[in-house]
Amino acid sequence: MDNKWEMLPSSSEEREKIWTKNRTFAGDVWFRFRRKPTAIAGFVLIVLLLLFALLGPMFTKYSYSVQNLEVVNIPPIMKVFDAPDGNGYLYITQSLKVLRVNPDGTLGDQLKKVREESEMSMTIFDCGGTEVGLYYGQKPYVIADPATKVICSSSTVRNASYLLGTDSLGRDILTRLMYGIRVSLLVAFIAAAVNMVIGVLYGGISGYLGGNADTVMMRIVDIINTIPLTLYVILIVVLLGSGLQSIIVALGSVYWVDMARVVRGQVLSLKQQEFVLAAKTIGSSTKTILFQHLIPNAMGSILVTVTMLIPSAIFMEAFLSFLGIGLQPPLASLGTMCNDATANLRTCPYQMFIPALGICLIMFAFNFVGDGLRDALDPKLKK
Amino acid sequence: MARYFAKRIGIMIIALFMIALVTFVIMHSIPGGPFTSDRKASPEVEAALNAKYNLDAPLPEQFLDYVGGLLHGDFGPSYKYPGKSVNDFIYNGFPVSAKLGGITIVFVLLAAIPMGVVAAVKNGKWVDMAVMALATIGVTIPSFIIASLLIYVFSYQLNLLPTYGIDTWKGYILPVIALGGYSISYMARLMRSSLLEVMGQDYIRTARAKGLPEWKVVTGHAMRNALIPVVTVLGPTIANLMTGSFVIEKIFAIPGLGGYLVNSVTQRDYTTIMGVTIFYATFLMVMIFVVDIFYCLIDPRIKYE
């Protein structure tokens, strides 16, 4: 086109046409959601944690429950001594035994004890024909040559057999972490789903019916709301006995109150709108109006409430398990792992900090996603 | 307003009755009696025990008896510790828990309000970012993890503070920080956002226009209104601290009421579970109610229908 200022013919139809791409509500939400880096980070983190928890156990050769008392409390990064026979390293366990560590970092056999030299404060072990002494006269304990009393040179090695170390019963922490995150997420998702169903039904019915039914139903919610939920969760766990099912039932039955309030508020304002009147005019049943028209429109706030509910459920499960009235051994959850680790926090802090980090990551992830969703779903913030 | 409070008291009484009923039903629907143990007692002994604790009466009668006792402040005997009553546990444990909770509440208010104010006044500056980052961490990390971290750093690595017990004032430092961490973060965030909102209002512009120094605008004019949401969450915060202290009392070996409750749960001491639960619930409800009255008094704009 030579003349850029030439007038083009245009019809009125073309002038009215919306030229930008049509975006659905979900697309719109996704567009705003992904502009928030924290929300995206949380979302990615949740996906990674799910993959870790669901697929991880396929790649591990350990079980979460089988104990191996020979390799108790081995840290992920070990302080080792060079073996005198030149074949790898030696590691002193907390129970004063000596483990051979292969050059690649995997754990080998326990050395055989030869004799006890009490005057020298040494225990003599047999290391491939040569004798080595474990000197326990002072802390930290060292490996020395019993004849010359020269301390073997030490270094640190990554634990290749147990990447995150073992716990106080010799179980692989990495495997337990996978199962722990799995259990924590399972509890949280089921609890959230159950609460969502109860809360949406209760709040929806209460809000839509209105009048006396609404008053009575909301009074009941008021009464439940004054009761500290922690106490009720504890009571339900007492009633059903400790275990996975009772935790799920307990958490599933107490958190719906907030959801019911949110849904009721939404339904109360939505039912005044014209589309409900239109639905009534064409003779839709109450059920259809509630489930086809009102609740889908309230889905935004429902979704936000659910994402915020998941971290509280995870927190409550960890809280109960930490108190010792949640899941029972050998089942692993993040809370029980932290609880098991409190006894030897001084000597093996990694046993506490690894599951603690897991809990923190999950909490961060869900909180960030919840924040992001709330901002994305709020049409007032639409740009 | 009087009508509103009357209604609130009514709801509270119904709720307390419900709590008593539900806990009673739950405790009595657990299979096995309170004296069922591995060692089978002879029928005569069992009958004597049942008669002593009035357990052979029909359930409704037992419930009425129990509620009658509650109204006189009698929580009944402990089944696991003969000669001890649930009241003994409450007398021993509650003052300890209440002292820890009281110190924590004061600490939370003293820490959270200045944090929130500073963050709001320095909105967008690095102070604000730091406070908000700290608050986000505090809201997401469970208290027992904070407690373990604190013990590891301050007791094991630096050897500054005791790991358990509250014999000296030093013993209170770690439990109070761990217990209050969540509430501080939550309140600081709330304080910041509500102060920011208030600072944007017209009467603040008026105060500035008449030449008041900025600190007077903040403390004299903005703070008063900005504090209202903080007071609102004070009731739930107290509830949170009291129930959150179960874990903290366990970690720091503090002989409070939470420890008795957790112990009674693991030992299946049913009357203690029942009594302590009802006591906790009553205490928390009364506290929340008192905070609501207070809330209504400081803000004359609030009219309850």
Structure tokens at A340: 């098991």
| CB proximity list for A365: less than 8 A, separation 6 or greater | A41, A42, A43, A45, A46, A49
pLDDT confidence bin for B301, thresholds 50/70/90? low
Looking at residue A383, its pLDDT comes to 41
| CB proximity list for A145: less than 8 A, separation 6 or greater | A84, A131, A132, A133, A152
What percent of chain B clears pLDDT 90, i.e. is strictly above it? 3
Per residue in B4-42, pLDDT (tens digit) is 788 888 888 888 888 888 888 887 777 665 665 556 667
Shortest CA distance from A314: residue in chain B: B142
ipTM of the complex: 0.77
Inter-chain CB proximity A349 and B280 less than 8 Å: no
Distance of alpha carbon B241 from the chain centroid: 4
One-letter amino acid at A217 equals: M
Quick one: residue A8, left, alpha or beta (phi over 0 = left, psi -120 to 50 = alpha)? beta
Pairing mode, strands A98-101 and A89-92: antiparallel
Pairing mode, strands A130-135 and A142-144: antiparallel
Task: List chain B residues with CB under 8 Å of A319.
Answer: 142, 144, 246-247
B132 touches chain A (CB under 8 A): no
- Best A227, A239, A342 residue to mutate vs chain B (most B CBs within 10 Å): A227
What secondary structure letter does DSSP report for A151? B
Inter-chain CB proximity A356 and B148 less than 8 Å: yes
Q: In angstroms, what separates the C-alpha of A15 from chain B's closest C-alpha?
A: 42
Looking at residue A100, its pLDDT comes to 77
Contact between residue A77 and residue A158 where contact means Cβ atoms under 8 Å apart:
yes
Structure tokens at B113: 């309000």
Looking at residue B305, its pLDDT comes to 47
Q: Which residues of A97-116 are buried (b: 16+ CB within 10 A; e: fewer)?
A: bbbbbeeebebbeebeeeee
Distance of alpha carbon A302 from the chain centroid: 21
Inter-chain CB proximity A360 and B140 less than 8 Å: yes
Q: What angle do CA A361, A364, A365 make, to 5 degrees?
A: 85
In 3D, which of A130, A161, A129 has the Cα closest to residue A146?
A: A130
Residue with tokens 């603040």: B204
One-letter amino acid at A208 equals: Y
Residue with tokens 């690095």: B126
Q: What angle do CA B89, B94, B98 make, to 5 degrees?
A: 170
Inter-chain CB proximity A367 and B139 less than 8 Å: yes
Task: List chain B residues with CB under 8 Å of A360.
Answer: 140-141, 145
> What HEC string does A45-103 produce?
HHHHHHHHHHHHHHHCCCCCCCCCHHHCCCCCEEEEEECCCCCCEEEECCCCCEEEECC
Q: In angstroms, what separates the C-alpha of A85 from chain B's closest C-alpha?
A: 36
Task: List chain A residues with CB under 8 Å of B31.
Answer: none
Shortest CA distance from B25: residue in chain A: A239
- Mind giving me the DSSP string for B258-288? HHHHHHHHHHT-HHHHHHHHHHHHHHHHHHH
Which helix (H) or strand (E) covers residue A113, if one does?
strand A112-117
Instruction: Establish how many alpha carbons lie within 13 A of residue A217's alpha carbon, considering only the half-sphere containing its beta carbon.
Output: 19
A216 touches chain B (CB under 8 A): no
B107 touches chain A (CB under 8 A): no
Answer whether the bond into residue A140 is a cis peptide, omega within 30°: yes
Q: In angstroms, what separates the C-alpha of B159 from chain A's closest C-alpha?
A: 12
Beta-strand runs (E) in A136-237: 142-144, 154-158
Burial class of residue B7 (count of CB atoms within 10 Å of its CB; 0-12, 13-18, 19+): middle
Structure tokens at B251: 């970690």
B66 touches chain A (CB under 8 A): no
- Best B129, B148, B156 residue to mutate vs chain A (most A CBs within 10 Å): B148
Distance of alpha carbon A125 from the chain centroid: 44
| CB proximity list for A269: less than 8 A, separation 6 or greater | none
- Best B29, B145, B287 residue to mutate vs chain A (most A CBs within 10 Å): B145
Q: In angstroms, what separates the C-alpha of A367 from chain B's closest C-alpha?
A: 8
B281 touches chain A (CB under 8 A): yes
Q: How far is CA A131 from CA A124, A138, A145, A152, A155, in A?
A: 6, 20, 7, 12, 20
Shortest CA distance from A356: residue in chain B: B145
Whole-prediction pTM: 0.80
Inter-chain CB proximity A360 and B141 less than 8 Å: yes
In 3D, which of B174, B214, B231 has the Cα closest to residue A345?
A: B174
Q: Find the Cα–Cα–Cα–Cα dihedral B71, B75, B77, B81, rounded to 10°.
A: -170
Task: List chain A residues with CB under 8 Å of B284.
Answer: 228
Residue with tokens 């850029």: A4
Inter-chain CB proximity B148 and A352 less than 8 Å: yes
Per residue in B58-67, pLDDT (tens digit) is 778 888 888 8
Inter-chain CB proximity A311 and B148 less than 8 Å: no
Contact between residue A235 and residue B23 where contact means Cβ atoms under 8 Å apart:
yes
In 3D, which of B277, B294, B267 has the Cα closest to residue B242?
A: B277
**B142 closest CB neighbour out of A234, A239, A319:** A319
Per residue in B193-213, pLDDT (tens digit) is 888 888 888 888 888 898 888
- Mind giving me the DSSP string for A267-296? HHHHTTSHHHHHHHHTT--HHHIIIIIIHH
Q: Considering only residues 326 to 355 of chain A, which have any Cβ-Cβ distance to chain B shorter than 8 Å?
A: 338, 341-342, 345-346, 349, 352-353
Inter-chain CB proximity A226 and B285 less than 8 Å: yes
- Mind giving me the DSSP string for B161-223? S-SS--SSTHHHHHHHHHHHHHHHHHHHHHHHHHHHHHHTSHHHHHHHHTT--HHHIIIIIIH
Task: List chain A residues with CB under 8 Å of B242.
Answer: 228
**A338 closest CB neighbour out of B144, B152, B266:** B144
Inter-chain CB proximity A349 and B152 less than 8 Å: yes
**CA-based torsion, B136, B141, B142, B146: positive or negative:** negative
3-state secondary structure of A343: coil
Task: List chain A residues with CB under 8 Å of B14.
Answer: 223
Rg for chain A (alpha carbons), in Å? 31
Quick one: residue B76, left, alpha or beta (phi over 0 = left, psi -120 to 50 = alpha)? left
Q: How far apart are CA B207 and CA B218, in angstroms?
A: 10
Q: Considering only residues 251 to 290 of chain A, which have any Cβ-Cβ distance to chain B shorter than 8 Å?
A: none
Helix, strand, coil share (%) of chain B residues, nearest 5: 75, 0, 25
**A345 closest CB neighbour out of B15, B148, B266:** B148
In 3D, which of B30, B35, B29, B70 has the Cα closest to residue B50?
A: B35
Per residue in B85-118, pLDDT (tens digit) is 888 888 888 888 888 888 999 999 999 999 988 8
Task: List chain B residues with CB under 8 Å of A227.
Answer: 15, 18-19, 281
Task: List chain B residues with CB under 8 Å of A353.
Answer: 149
Q: How far apart are CA B14 and CA B256, in angstroms?
A: 28
Task: List chain B residues with CB under 8 Å of A324.
Answer: 262, 266
Looking at residue A44, its pLDDT comes to 92
- Please name every residue paired with A157 in a beta bridge, in sequence order, or none if there are none: A78
For each of chain A's 383 residues, which pLDDT tens digit applies? 577 787 777 777 777 777 777 777 778 778 888 888 888 888 899 999 999 888 877 777 777 777 777 777 777 777 777 777 767 777 777 777 777 777 777 777 777 777 777 777 777 777 777 777 777 777 777 777 777 777 777 777 777 777 777 777 778 888 888 888 888 888 888 988 998 999 999 998 888 888 888 888 888 887 777 777 777 788 888 788 777 888 888 888 888 888 888 888 888 888 888 888 898 899 888 888 888 888 888 888 888 888 888 888 888 888 888 887 777 777 788 888 888 888 787 778 888 888 888 888 888 888 888 888 887 876 555 44
B11 touches chain A (CB under 8 A): yes
3-state secondary structure of A126: strand
| CB proximity list for A358: less than 8 A, separation 6 or greater | A177, A180, A181, A184, A334
Shortest CA distance from A237: residue in chain B: B265
Inter-chain CB proximity A323 and B247 less than 8 Å: yes
| CB proximity list for B30: less than 8 A, separation 6 or greater | A238, A239, B268, B270
Q: In angstroms, what separates the C-alpha of A345 from chain B's closest C-alpha?
A: 7
In 3D, which of A230, A292, A221, A306 has the Cα closest to residue A260?
A: A221
One-letter amino acid at A16 equals: E
- A144 phi/psi in degrees, rounded to 5: -140, 165
What percent of chain B clears pLDDT 70, i.e. is strictly above it? 92
One-letter amino acid at B298 equals: I
Structure tokens at A346: 């001084």
